[in-house]
Amino acid sequence: MSIAEVPQGRLRSPFYSRISAADTVNQWHEWKGYSSADALYCEDTEYFAIRNATAVFDLTPMTKYRITGPDAPEYINRLVTRDMNRIKTGRVAYAVWCDDRGQVIDDGTIFHLKEGEYRLCSQERHFAWLQTAAIGFDVSIVLETEDIAALAVQGPTSFTVLSTMGLNGLEDLKPFGLMNFDFDGADLMVSRTGFTGDLGYELWIEPGKAELLWDALFEAGKLHGIRAMGTNALELARIEAGYLAAYQDFLPADATMRAGRTRSPLELGLGWLVDFKKPNFNGRRALAEEKRRGSAWRLVKLDIEGNKPAHHSYIFAKEKGNKSEIGFITSAAWSPVCKQNIAIGTVRTPHGAVGSTVWVEVFYQREMHWSRAMAQATVVDKPFWFPPRRSATPPGRY
């Protein structure tokens, strides 16, 4: 009698049938065991759907945990660096969590679903850490990645699309708010969140209704430019929005091999997420010490001259005569909406103050030959793309 093997190869999300139907380029990668599309038909078109209409992205592989129990609020508050008491029910918070050394393990969003009940979403898996953190707390942590199908619906017409679909009352939903609707007898949760820096929503529903939801959404969006998108378009949008990605702009602290490869929230420009008024949270002592002594690294958003994306580049203090680099680029792109050459990077302090100038060594290839250029870059403090429509409530109809 044999015992069935666990699924071999890649898993398919509940939206797979719809996404593969939209797919023409057959370019996929693996995301936490799932097949996830790089692109579906044309990266540019997919990207401009985010910025001009509505683009839909399958978020299902995102790791999701449900945290409940009498101690859940206290537990969450000890876990993450920000003060979660300020996040009322029906609200969502972006948060980071650290190890005892104050180094970032991951970032993610925490949904305060109802009194004492939370959902934590992150790119990486953290069940073992969350369980260890639960020692001494009366909480229950349940992995629910496969139990919830999720879509990001992003772009200026996204509100119109969802309203057309019959989600009434959405006009009152502020950024980082969430609402629940009935969809074909199932609970459809809509949060005004996203990874694109534009007006947008994320939809959460049981997997059995996934295809129905997709169909309803695309029916409603037919006249509003709705399109499915792959990861590449989303990646470009997130750099424009200045969001960080694990394994690119920082490494999960518990996964690093070499000393000095981890980053603290202060070093990632996320000091605003660290609330020292809380008496205890993971990393507090180390972060307080870092604050006192000063950080070793600083995350910078760079506006780089020219138009050659600075992928994997070194950052220097001066154009010439540098003894060594002061840092490197972790994400880079040419921004089609800003018409700017943008990048996110990490530099050693005291370099990288906002408004200062650094130099980036850009390599680019033209017809087989490689060229090297030193490009001047300015450290900026705001996201590259931050349209007013992103936070307008009620959102405009486009």
Partner 1 sequence: MTDRYDAIVVGGGHNGLVCSALLGKAGKQVLVLEANDQVGGAAVTREFVDGFAVSACAHLLYQLQPSVRKDLKLSPKLASEDMTTVVLDEQGEHVRIQGNSVLGVSDADAKSFRGFHKRMTRFADLLRTYLNKPPPRLGTRGLSDLLTLGRLGIDIRLLGKTEMREFLRLIGMNIHDELDERFESSLLKGALSLDAVLGTHLGPRSPNTIMTYLYRLAGDHGRVASPTGGMGSISDELAKAARESGVTIRTAMPVSRIIIDNGRVAGVETENGERFDSMTVVSNADPKRTIMDLVGARHVETGFTHRIHHLRMRGNAAKLHLALDGLPTIAGLSKKDYAERILIAPDEHYVERAFNPAKYGESSPEPVLEITFPSFRDAKLAPPSQHVMSAVVQYAPYDRKGGWTDAARQEFEAAAIRAIERFAPDIAQRITASELLTPADIEREFHITGGHWHHGELTLDQFLFVRPVCSAAQYRMPVDGLYLCGAGAHPGGGVSGAAGRNAARAILSREKAA
Partner 2 sequence: MKTYDAIIVGAGHNGLTTAAFLAKAGLDVVCVEKNDYIGGAAVSRNLYEDWMYSNCSYVCSLLRPEIYRALELHKHGLQVTPYGGSVTFMENGDYFGSYHDPEVAYREMARFSQHDADAYERYSADTMRQCRFIRDFLLRTPPDPTSFKPKDIKELIAIGNKFMEMGEDRMYETIRFWTMSVAEYLDEYFETDVIKAAMSGSGIIGTALGIHSPGTAYVLLHHYMGDVDGNVGTWGFARGGMGAVSNSIAGAFQAYGGELRTEAGVAQIIVNNGRTTGVVLENGDEISARVVVSAMDVKRTFLKCMERSDLPESFYKRVENFKIRGSSGKLNIALDGMPTFPALPEGSSLYISDMHFIDSMERMERAYDDWKDGTWSKDPYIDMTIPTAVDPTMAPPGKHFMSCFVQYCPYKLEGRDWTDPEREEFAKSVIEQIANYSPDFKELILHYEIRTPQDIEDEIGITEGNIFHGELTMDQLLFNRPVPGYAQYRAPVAGLYMCGSSVHPGGGVMAAPGANAAREILADLKRPNTVPENFGDD
256 or 378: CB nearest partner 2:
256
Binding-residue pattern over the window 352 to 391 for partner 2, x denoting contact by CB under 8 A:
----------------------------------------
137 binds partner 1 per the rule CB under 8 A: yes
DSSP H helices, the chain, are: 16-22, 43-52, 72-79, 127-133, 158-164, 210-221, 231-241, 284-293
DSSP 261: -
Side chain identity at residue 307, one-letter code: N
Please pick, from the candidates 123, 256, 322, 376, the single residue that binds partner 2 as defined by CB under 8 A: 256
Helices vs strands, H then E, count in the chain: 8, 19
Q: Report the C-alpha gap between 72 and 78 in whole angstroms.
A: 10
132 binds partner 1 (CB under 8 A): yes
**Cα–Cα distances in angstroms (integers) from residue 384 to residues 245, 301, 351, in the given order:** 16, 8, 20
> Closest approach of Cβ 34 to partner 2, in Å?
9
Q: Which residues of 311-337 are buried (b: 16+ CB within 10 A; e: fewer)?
A: eebbbbbeeeeeeebbbbbbbbbbbeb
**Which of partner 2, partner 1, none lies near 284, with the C-beta cut-off 5 to 8 A by kind?**
partner 1
Q: Which residue has tokens 């119109």? A: 160
CB of 77 or CB of 232, closer to partner 1 = 77
Give the range of 70-78, 195-203, 209-217, 321-329 binding partner 1 by CB under 8 A.
Answer: 70-78
127 touches partner 2 (CB under 8 A): yes
Return the amino acid letter for 31. W
With contacts defined by CB under 8 A, name the span among 1-9, 199-207, 236-244, 349-357 that binds partner 2.
Answer: 1-9
Residue 121 in contact with partner 1, rule: CB under 8 A? no
3-state secondary structure of 256: coil
Interaction between residue 164 and partner 1 (CB under 8 A)? no
CA separation for the pair 104, 139 (Å, rounded):
23
**Binding status of residue 135 toward partner 2 by CB under 8 A:** no
Q: Which of 1, 7, 9, 280 is the binder for partner 1 (CB under 8 A)? A: 280
The amino acid at residue 311 is: H
Parallel, antiparallel or unpaired: strands 297-304 and 149-154: unpaired
318 binds, among partner 1, partner 2, none (CB under 5 to 8 A by kind): none
279 binds, among partner 2, partner 1, none (CB under 5 to 8 A by kind): partner 1
Q: How far apart are the first and last CA of the chain?
A: 60
Give residues in contact with partner 2 (CB under 8 A).
1-10, 30, 32-33, 100-101, 125-129, 131, 143, 254-260
